[in-house]
A and B are shown apart, each in its own frame.
Chain A
Amino acid sequence: MSLGLRRVLVSVGMIAVFAALIYLLTTYGSSFWQGIAINLGMFLILVVSLNLFNGFTGVFSLGHIGFMGLGAYIAAILTLSLSGKQAYLPHLPGWLAGVSLDQMIGPFALGFLLATLISATLVAVFAFLVGLVLMRLSGQYVAVATLGFLVIVRVTLFNADTFTRGSRTFSNIAAYTDLWWVYGWVIATVYVVWRLKFSAFGRSMFAQREDRWAAQSVGISMMPPRLLAFVVSAFFTAVAGSLYAHFITSMSPNVFYFDLTFRVITMLVLGGLGSVSGSILGTVIIVGLAEGLRRVEDVTLLYGMSNIIIAVILLLLIIFRRQGLLGQRELNLGWLFGKSQSSSNKEKVQP
């Protein structure tokens, strides 16, 4: 069979297997394991999209969780029922108080999809504006500036209490998120980021990461790839936020702050800055570790221990293996697809 047909069949087959797994988990799995799988999925989206920016362009952002918070709140406000809005957010401006995206088509939560898309798009536009300002910085300065952005978002979420209920918990969010939604978005995120990596834009980003001046000297401008990476990663981070809000069904601005940032960064560094499959690996390892350690904490009452262990892991990684598990390489699935893909590792020479 031709290569193209084989690739299509293999891709479809993989998705079918994946869907079957999710079906099995949804129908027969306990809610405990489903919860862990959903948690894993959300982190996958966060880490892969952050890798798009931090890993590909080499510019380190510490503020992306701010986008997650914005995405979560905007989507939650949009899907809140009309009666919920009246009871919960009584001072919303008229045009917002009358909107509630809770339409369903059969079992498909159309409103949820719309709310997530709208929220993520708004956040992406906002990220574009923020990026115009912040992307001129480099190195440590952009890291701290984005950290400042995170704080600014948090303060704003606390203060805009007509929209967010401020420091009070925002609950009564409809529990739309399930395994299908989460992993649907996971596949979308991984696909987009993967395609970006192996595109001209992706190569520009990596070139910048290697040596910004050399890249500029051969005509690769700095801002467009950086901005694109920033905006796209913000989009998917906001999606993760919306998924989070509709999973936990209650939140406050405190969630979207430093602890979450630190955990995502650890997963990112473990997998390898610049490797999509590395991010997936790193996320799975750390989520598994964190869950396991949490059980140990509950038993031994040593709360905080899991954070210490994860921080030690990050420290050891930075000192001894800064490229993480895979560096910039990807797991080679070429054997599945017939020929090797046009990846940044080896290229098979045809006789």
Chain B
Amino acid sequence: MNLVYYFIQQIVNAVSAGSLYAVMAVGLAMVFSILRLINFAYGDQMMVAAYLAAFSLGAGLPLPIAVLVMVIGSVVLGLILERVAYRPLRGAPDVALLLSSFAVGQILENTTLLATRFAGLPIQMSFAAPELLSGVLTFGPITVAKLNVVSLVAGVVILLLLTLFVTRTDLGLSMRASAEDMPAAQLVGINTNRVIATAFGISSALASVAGLLYAAQAGQINPFMGFTPVLKAFIAAVIGGFGSLPGAVLGGYVLGALEVLLTAIPGIGDILPPGMVPPAVQQFLQTYLPGSLSSWRDAFVFIILIVVLIFRPNGILGGRQREEMR
């Protein structure tokens, strides 16, 4: 019986991890589709949002206000970054944009480091997750962390709202048009500056939500926490089809599932009830899929990225590879 609950547990884990990745990946994909910019400072925007949330909650603000502060702060930061660091680089080769986002990321990380030092705070701060996000819910024999449920629900709601925005509103339509063909969009009179600013704003808002959830999950924040999430988000977006928003969502869930698979399957040898599979098979599983495989998880995820980039660079939802001869 344990096996069934184990699977259900893992499925819940996978879907909630997937939701988190999906939200992050959509934020990245939104900016990439229009600007061709892989925003590596995205993880650091998440980090700044997490710090904002930590301070607002620490100052005693109720959760909804803290979230508002966090989202608004993050959007303002994103708009400033776009204006200062990325707008001067319109039309520059892709690698230049990538490098500038790295530089921005470094600046954000070290400024936060300096600021926390200045304020006398430790580098690694513990993050007291608010009531809504901590603790567990029990449904019979299954325990689910409240955080996972909230991630899931928040992810789905956000994605639904985004879909509505992108398909039903003028601004959303303009965004899709700019993503498809920027010069043509300008020709028909779309104000690309406004579109790009909107994309950055939404992307930053998504980053802030992801940052809050990530911080609540980790239980602590530090100035360098954003590096790994942005890499994972990028992998998710590439797997699903970089540049397309549904692709990013799909990639997020696929990545969540893959990660949970890589951590869950190795442990399976131990929890199989005796007699379910012949002892030889159980032995095999226990020897060759030791629980410690999970430490290789990050490496596997990147190997998957490289495989996808080589064989299907446009991801699951992308068409066949079209290379531009520029």
How many of chain B's residues touch chain A, expressed as a range? 35 or more
A118 to B305, CA, bound (A): 31
Contact of A151 among B106, B238, B302 (CB under 8 A): B302
* Complex interface bits, A129-143 against B, C-beta within 8 A gives 1, otherwise 0: 000011011011101
* Interchain CB contact under 8 A, B110 and A315: no
**A14 to B: closest C-beta gap in Å:** 34
**A51 to B: closest C-beta gap in Å:** 15
* Interchain CB contact under 8 A, B110 and A304: yes
A314 to B103, CA, bound (A): 7
Confirm or deny: B180 has a beta carbon within 8 angstroms of a beta carbon on chain A.
no
Confirm or deny: B96 has a beta carbon within 8 angstroms of a beta carbon on chain A.
yes
Confirm or deny: A329 has a beta carbon within 8 angstroms of a beta carbon on chain B.
no
Main secondary structure of the interface of A (DSSP, over half): helix
Confirm or deny: A302 has a beta carbon within 8 angstroms of a beta carbon on chain B.
yes
* Interchain CB contact under 8 A, A301 and B117: yes
- Which A residues are in CB contact (< 8 Å) with B227? 258
**A215 to B: closest C-beta gap in Å:** 12
* Interchain CB contact under 8 A, B94 and A322: no
Interface residues of B in 218-269 (CB under 8 A from A): 227, 231, 234-235, 238
* Complex interface bits, A316-338 against B, C-beta within 8 A gives 1, otherwise 0: 00110010000000000000000
* Complex interface bits, B94-126 against A, C-beta within 8 A gives 1, otherwise 0: 111011101110110111011001000000000
Interface residues of A in 121-160 (CB under 8 A from B): 133-134, 136-137, 139-141, 143-145, 147-149, 151-152, 155-156, 158-159
- Which A residues are in CB contact (< 8 Å) with B188? none
Interface residues of A in 154-189 (CB under 8 A from B): 155-156, 158-159
- Which A residues are in CB contact (< 8 Å) with B113? 303-304
**B31 to A: closest C-beta gap in Å:** 13
* Interchain CB contact under 8 A, A151 and B103: no
* Interchain CB contact under 8 A, B98 and A143: yes
- Which A residues are in CB contact (< 8 Å) with B278? none
Contact of A158 among B234, B295, B313 (CB under 8 A): B295
* Interchain CB contact under 8 A, B309 and A155: no
- Which B residues are in CB contact (< 8 Å) with A137? 309-310, 313
Confirm or deny: A23 has a beta carbon within 8 angstroms of a beta carbon on chain B.
no
Confirm or deny: B325 has a beta carbon within 8 angstroms of a beta carbon on chain A.
yes
Q: Given A137-B309, A141-B313, verify A269-B99 contact (CB < 8 Å).
A: yes
- Which A residues are in CB contact (< 8 Å) with B104? 311, 315
* Complex interface bits, B147-186 against A, C-beta within 8 A gives 1, otherwise 0: 0000000000000000000000000000000000000000
- Which B residues are in CB contact (< 8 Å) with A141? 309, 313
**A263 to B: closest C-beta gap in Å:** 10
* Interchain CB contact under 8 A, A262 and B102: yes
* Interchain CB contact under 8 A, B296 and A159: yes
Confirm or deny: A249 has a beta carbon within 8 angstroms of a beta carbon on chain B.
no
Confirm or deny: A99 has a beta carbon within 8 angstroms of a beta carbon on chain B.
no
A307 to B106, CA, bound (A): 7
Interface residues of A in 197-238 (CB under 8 A from B): 213
**A155 to B: closest C-beta gap in Å:** 4
Confirm or deny: A192 has a beta carbon within 8 angstroms of a beta carbon on chain B.
no
* Complex interface bits, B282-319 against A, C-beta within 8 A gives 1, otherwise 0: 00000000000001101100110110011001000000
- Which B residues are in CB contact (< 8 Å) with A305? 110, 114
Contact of A262 among B96, B106, B238, B302 (CB under 8 A): B106
Confirm or deny: B38 has a beta carbon within 8 angstroms of a beta carbon on chain A.
yes
* Interchain CB contact under 8 A, B114 and A319: no
* Interchain CB contact under 8 A, B299 and A312: no
* Interchain CB contact under 8 A, B98 and A312: no
Q: Given A151-B298, A262-B102, verify A145-B309 contact (CB < 8 Å).
A: yes
* Interchain CB contact under 8 A, B299 and A151: yes
Contact of A144 among B89, B103, B111, B234 (CB under 8 A): B234
- Which B residues are in CB contact (< 8 Å) with A239? none
Closest residue of B by beta carbon distance from A316: B103
A319 to B107, CA, bound (A): 15
A143 to B325, CA, bound (A): 19
* Complex interface bits, A53-68 against B, C-beta within 8 A gives 1, otherwise 0: 0000000100000000
Confirm or deny: A265 has a beta carbon within 8 angstroms of a beta carbon on chain B.
yes
* Interchain CB contact under 8 A, B110 and A140: no
Closest residue of B by beta carbon distance from A308: B110
- Which A residues are in CB contact (< 8 Å) with B302? 148-149, 151-152
A155 to B295, CA, bound (A): 8
* Interchain CB contact under 8 A, B89 and A308: no
Q: Given A140-B95, A141-B309, A152-B302, verify A311-B106 contact (CB < 8 Å).
A: yes
- Which B residues are in CB contact (< 8 Å) with A148? 231, 235, 302-303, 305-306
**A-B residue pairs in contact (CB < 8 Å), sample of 28:** A60-B98, A137-B313, A140-B36, A141-B309, A141-B313, A143-B98, A151-B298, A151-B302, A152-B299, A155-B298, A156-B299, A158-B295, A159-B295, A159-B299, A269-B99, A303-B117, A304-B109, A305-B110, A308-B107, A308-B111, A314-B100, A314-B102, A315-B100, A315-B103, A319-B88, A319-B89, A322-B92, A322-B96
The 5 closest A-B CB pairs, nearest first, are A148-B302, A311-B106, A304-B110, A155-B299, A315-B103
Which B residues have a C-beta under 8 Å from some C-beta of A?
36, 38, 85, 88-89, 92-96, 98-100, 102-104, 106-107, 109-111, 113-114, 117, 227, 231, 234-235, 238, 295-296, 298-299, 302-303, 305-306, 309-310, 313, 325
Which A residues have a C-beta under 8 Å from some C-beta of B?
60, 133-134, 136-137, 139-141, 143-145, 147-149, 151-152, 155-156, 158-159, 213, 258, 262, 265, 269, 301-305, 307-308, 310-312, 314-315, 318-319, 322
Given A145-B309, A301-B117, 4 new contacts (CB under 8 A): A134-B306, A137-B310, A155-B295, A308-B114
